[in-house]
Amino acid sequence: MEMKYVSTRGKAEAVEAAQAVLQGIAGDGGLFVPTEIPKADAEFVQSLTELSYADRAKKILGLFLTDYTDEEIARCVESAYGGGKFDDAAVAPVKSVGDLSVLELWHGPTSAFKDMALQLLPRLLSEALKKTGETKETLILVATSGDTGKAALAGFADVPQTKIMVFYPDGGVSDMQRLQMATQAGKNVSVVAVKGNFDDAQGGVKEIFGDEAFAKKLAEAGVRLSSANSINWGRLVPQIVYYFSAYADLVKAGTIKNGDPLNFTVPTGNFGNILAGFYARQMGLPVGKLVCASNQNNVLTDFLQTGYYDKNRDFYKTISPSMDILVSSNVERMLYHMTGDPSGVRGWMEALATEGRYDAGVGMIQRFQNYFWAGWADDEKTKATIREVYEAEHYVLDTHTAVAWTVANEYRRRTHDERPMVVVSTASPYKFSGSVLEALGEDATGDPFVLLERLESKSGTTAPKGLASMRDAQAIHDTNCDKAAMRDEVLAFAKR
């Protein structure tokens, strides 16, 4: 059966998956959602237990991407997860740590969970270009404050018919993040530091996306723009796979019986990761509660407790920077699924855009609470968790995962829900070595490679190759520009 995708705001035509991936966002400003959720029964889950991660991915993606052939999906999946790009044969292994399980999503080339989706999205997009007969090149524009830029660069490098250009704030990313981007090889990649802060970089990119005259100029050069951020369905659908994969692994290990409910705690920013868990549950995977863990930017905790979303509040720079977000875009999809009412969604999103707040109401949030529970942890608690888990289990959590660990335990304490819990781990501790070392009571000063080595000797583990190898890598990109010159950079790169 053909799966169609419609806009959460109800004013765009239904499209097939390839078109949804190409467009990224619907014509009415809404997000694409599937019209129906495919079903996966206990037998389906059982059949996954003996499969590799790539083969699990093929089965699950096939249910959603019905306009892609099995061969196309297989090609995409194998080049995304095969070829030794992930440093663990299981791709997304589940580890038992104390009385929790940890789903490690950071074995990809950039050591953060964004790789799970950004290794696959470029391939889905490349196939979509072929399928729709598009002859123009697609230029992906990204504004990044850290993790997304590198993961997108690594995913799109040398993918046919695509180019990728990443803007980051000059002096506004960590040394390690800057190095990761500056050393990115590939014939179709460009990295530019923008003088200013993240808002300048992001504002500049948004202006370019909204500039029709500029789009025409690019079209004359044979190029169209697209985006790789987490509102794209092609970034969300790969994430459904690892919920099934974790469940299948725990069945196989005998930790749970097929059919038993399993809870997940997810360190959350844009609500993309945890929403994929919701889709898995709607498909029929026996997911119990999805626990939404936030840092001090706890707008989602308040929303999931009261139904009132309000981004008018102080913004905190925390030690879990990938969750420093006040507008969680993917909540929009959840509102749609809970109401099936695009005009309601449109009203809330307009209020969010103009006033920075909306009230979904108590009745609505009770529906959310059937699936989600929410909590948050500040930096002090997060660091204490890193230290405690290290001392008790000799396992080193990164700062984002430590937020989730803290909230998972709070959930268990408060609700007495003793069902097995998976903590979703979104980054290697080596990616945030400074904060992790500090939490462990170690010296956290020095260049990024000194910190890697110090964490290696403290933890008795080895830093991911992708991070350690940058010590010898050549910085290739050293372009910088003013915000006003971003268009010129894009046009020059489009013509290259």
Report d(CA 309, CA 333) in Å as an integer: 15
Closest CA to 80 of 40, 45, 107: 107
Q: Where does residue 184 fall: left (phi above 0), alpha (psi -120 to 50 degrees), or beta otherwise? A: beta
Query: Is residue 107 part of the contact set for ligand PLP (CB under 6 A)?
Result: no
- State which of residues 119, 183, 268, 318 lies at the interface with ligand PLP (CB under 6 A): 268
Q: Which of residues 318-337 bind ligand PLP (CB under 6 A)?
A: 322-323
Q: Which is nearer to ligand PLP, 122 or 269 (CB)?
A: 269
Query: Is residue 114 part of the contact set for ligand PLP (CB under 6 A)?
Result: yes
Q: Of the residues 4, 58, 114, 431, which is catalytic?
A: 114
**DSSP secondary-structure letter at 112?**
B
Q: Which stretch binds ligand PLP (CB under 6 A): 67-75, 109-117, 220-228, 445-453?
A: 109-117
Smallest distance from ligand PLP to CB 43, Å: 30
- Looking up tokens 């992708």, which residue turns up? 466
Q: Which is nearer to ligand PLP, 101 or 330 (CB)?
A: 330
- DSSP letters for 330-384: THHHHHHHHH--HHHHHHHHHHHHHHSEEE--HHHHHHHHTTEEEEE--HHHHHH
Smallest distance from ligand PLP to CB 246, Å: 16
Report d(CA 218, CA 488) in Å as an integer: 11
Report d(CA 298, CA 147) in Å as an integer: 20
Write the CA distances from 383 to 279, 300, 379, integer angstroms.
32, 21, 6
Q: Which is nearer to ligand PLP, 165 or 276 (CB)?
A: 276
Query: Is residue 101 part of the contact set for ligand PLP (CB under 6 A)?
Result: no
Q: Which stretch binds ligand PLP (CB under 6 A): 56-64, 111-119, 214-222, 470-478?
A: 111-119
Q: Which of residues 26-85 bind ligand PLP (CB under 6 A)?
A: none
Query: Is residue 342 part of the contact set for ligand PLP (CB under 6 A)?
Result: no
Closest CA to 278 of 413, 369, 407: 369
- State which of residues 273, 294, 298, 406 lies at the interface with ligand PLP (CB under 6 A): 273
- Looking up tokens 């995977």, which residue turns up? 285
C-alpha triplet 298, 379, 321: angle, nearest 5°: 65
Query: Is residue 426 part of the contact set for ligand PLP (CB under 6 A)?
Result: yes
Both tokens of residue 205?
Answer: 């990119």
Q: Which is nearer to ligand PLP, 268 or 297 (CB)?
A: 268
Report d(CA 170, CA 480) in Å as an integer: 8
Q: Are 404 and 265 in contact (CB under 8 A)?
A: yes
Q: Which stretch binds ligand PLP (CB under 6 A): 161-169, 218-226, 270-278, 407-415?
A: 270-278
Query: Is residue 147 part of the contact set for ligand PLP (CB under 6 A)?
Result: yes
Query: Which residues are CB-contacts of 457 (< 8 A; sequence separation ≥ 6)?
Result: none
Query: Which residues are CB-contacts of 170 (< 8 A; sequence separation ≥ 6)?
Result: 193, 194, 195, 196, 480
Both tokens of residue 321?
Answer: 């920077």
Smallest distance from ligand PLP to CB 495, Å: 32
> Is 311 a catalytic site residue?
no
Smallest distance from ligand PLP to CB 269, Å: 3
- State which of residues 7, 230, 297, 409 lies at the interface with ligand PLP (CB under 6 A): 230
Count of residues that bind ligand PLP according to CB under 6 A: 17
Query: Is residue 232 part of the contact set for ligand PLP (CB under 6 A)?
Result: no
Binding stretches for ligand PLP (CB under 6 A): 112-114, 147, 230, 267-273, 322-323, 400, 426-427
Q: Which residues are catalytic?
A: 114
